[in-house]
Structure 1
Amino acid sequence: MQPNADLSTRDTILHLLKTNNELTAKELTDRLDITSIAVRRHIDTLERDGLIESRLVRQPMGRPTAAYHLTESAEELFPNRYSTVALDLLDELAKESGESMVERLFELRKETLYKKYSGKMNDKDFQDKLSTLTAIQNENGYMAELQKNSDDEYVLIEHNCPIAKLANQYTHACQCELRLFEALLDADISRPECLTKGGKKCVYRIRRRNQT
């Protein structure tokens, strides 16, 4: 029961900060039916998780007090319709110009991402490239983890897909991602499991290419 109560209070604090822009610990305590000590405990946890941050606000009398607001990471917890809007736009593009134009759009995105990330792979060995790619995917919300099978073979697992709605409709997005990984890593890659094909996660088997 206690974890549910904690989660409920955590969500309530996040929603209060979302609807009020920022609040002090005292203001949060006044709005919640818990003690100030409990509020402070939740604030500490939310700060540790990178969901809220504070700024000092000067008072007419006394010492400055901390006012808390949501971080950019916390904003992503709230509902948005970005993927729906993007999918609608791609559907309209497909109707007007054909699906080949949508595929070209994904190809251009792949080329843009390659230019963005290829510099981070310079002068790195195979494992460091893989670690860099894993970090990039985590920054982009894929919840990625890297497993090592041997010196030449690794498995990259993505537990989440931020573009799942788009990829379900336009599978070319997944093909472009695989080819992007191949280009960045200079590796042979297969994808035995994919979220868009009913899998529980996206799994990439990555093997170092023979160097001649």
Structure 2
Amino acid sequence: MIKVIVMNKRTPTKQKLLNILKKDHEMMITEIMEYFTISEIAVRKHIHELVQQGFVKRKTIKQSMGRPYYVYELTKKGHDTFPNQYEKLPLELLQDLEALQGKQAVNDVLARRMERERDFFEKEIASDEFDEKIAEVARIQDEKGYMVEVEKTEEGHYEMKHFNCPISNIATEYRQVCRNEKIVFDDVFPTSEVISHSCITSGDNFCKWTIKAPKKA
């Protein structure tokens, strides 16, 4: 019996595979084939390409007896191909808060977030050495999805660029987010001058910071 999953008839095979794995989670190739009339070789080719692209992962299941077998499941990247409200919800909640309690309530929430960010950097960064601290900040921001690039100038200063802003929808509506980021960097580098040159939320291609080397005593 061929199983049917509701979807557009013109849905490409790869999208159909993503839909199936979204619905049934971990699946063996024999289970996946119940949804297809094309050859198993063709289906395996599409699965292999999805694995290579990072949308699907293959997992080995060991048994107490017999050979292990493989199952396929979506990665986070695979799940992210489906519609969601993750980006809209935080902004809508802040807008609702502002409508109910005023702008100051939103500023208080964003200030609380700033304190949490500052505490996180303080816990994560072990070194007080300028170059090492820059590297740690770049690593942390990159892991958060900011797509960081850092260059050291001849004067010993650092230029840090963020090519992505994971919270741009909120920062565009509430510019306090960008101002708070500057405050956090000022606190992380208390002996340096931190200068903001450009900002994604202002229409620039990236956020650019100069973090000047501390003056030698």
Normalising by the smaller structure, the TM-score range is 0.7 to 0.9
1:179 corresponding residue in structure 2: 183
Q: 1:18 aligns with which of 22, 27, 35?
A: 22
Supply the distance in 2 between the matched residues of 1:10 and 1:150 (Cα, whole angstroms). Answer: 49
Amino acid at match of 2:57: I
> When the two structures are superposed, what TM-score results if normalisation uses the length of structure 2?
0.77
1:83 corresponding residue in structure 2: 87
1:120 corresponding residue in structure 2: 124
Higher alpha-carbon Rg: 2
Deviation of the 1:111 alpha carbon:
0.8
Question: Is the CA contact 1:103–1:172 (under 8 Å) kept in the aligned structure 2?
Answer: yes
Deviation of the 1:192 alpha carbon:
1.7
| Aligned residues between the structures | 202
1:205 corresponding residue in structure 2: 210
Amino acid at match of 2:194: I
1:147 corresponding residue in structure 2: 151
Deviation of the 1:90 alpha carbon:
0.8
Supply the distance in 1 between the matched residues of 2:52 and 2:147 (Cα, whole angstroms). Answer: 21
1:64 corresponding residue in structure 2: 68
1:4 corresponding residue in structure 2: none
Question: Is the CA contact 2:87–2:169 (under 8 Å) kept in the aligned structure 1?
Answer: yes
> When the two structures are superposed, what TM-score results if normalisation uses the length of structure 1?
0.79
2:136 corresponding residue in structure 1: 132
C-alpha spacing 1:37/1:84, structure 2 compared with 1 (3 Å): closer
Question: Is the CA contact 1:144–1:159 (under 8 Å) kept in the aligned structure 2?
Answer: yes
C-alpha spacing 1:51/1:125, structure 2 compared with 1 (3 Å): farther
Question: Is the CA contact 2:199–2:206 (under 8 Å) kept in the aligned structure 1?
Answer: yes
1:45 corresponding residue in structure 2: 52
C-alpha spacing 1:110/1:211, structure 2 compared with 1 (3 Å): farther
1:184-199 equivalences under 5 Å are 184-186=188-190, 187-199=192-204
Supply the distance in 1 between the matched residues of 2:204 and 2:128 (Cα, whole angstroms). Answer: 32
2:172 corresponding residue in structure 1: 168
Question: Is the CA contact 1:193–1:201 (under 8 Å) kept in the aligned structure 2?
Answer: yes
SS in 2 for 1:131: helix
SS in 2 for 1:35: helix
Moved more, 146-155 or 12-21: 12-21
Structure 1: runs of 5+ lacking an equivalent? 1-7
In the alignment, does 2:102 pair up with 1:98? yes
Deviation of the 1:82 alpha carbon:
2.1
SS in 1 for 2:154: coil
- Residues 18-70 of structure 1 show CA distances to partners (whole Å, capped at 9, x for unaligned) of 23212234555664665366246426524xx48525141659x9523111222
Question: Is the CA contact 1:24–1:67 (under 8 Å) kept in the aligned structure 2?
Answer: yes
SS in 2 for 1:209: coil
Aligned-residue Cα RMSD (Å) equals 2.9
Amino acid at match of 2:108: R
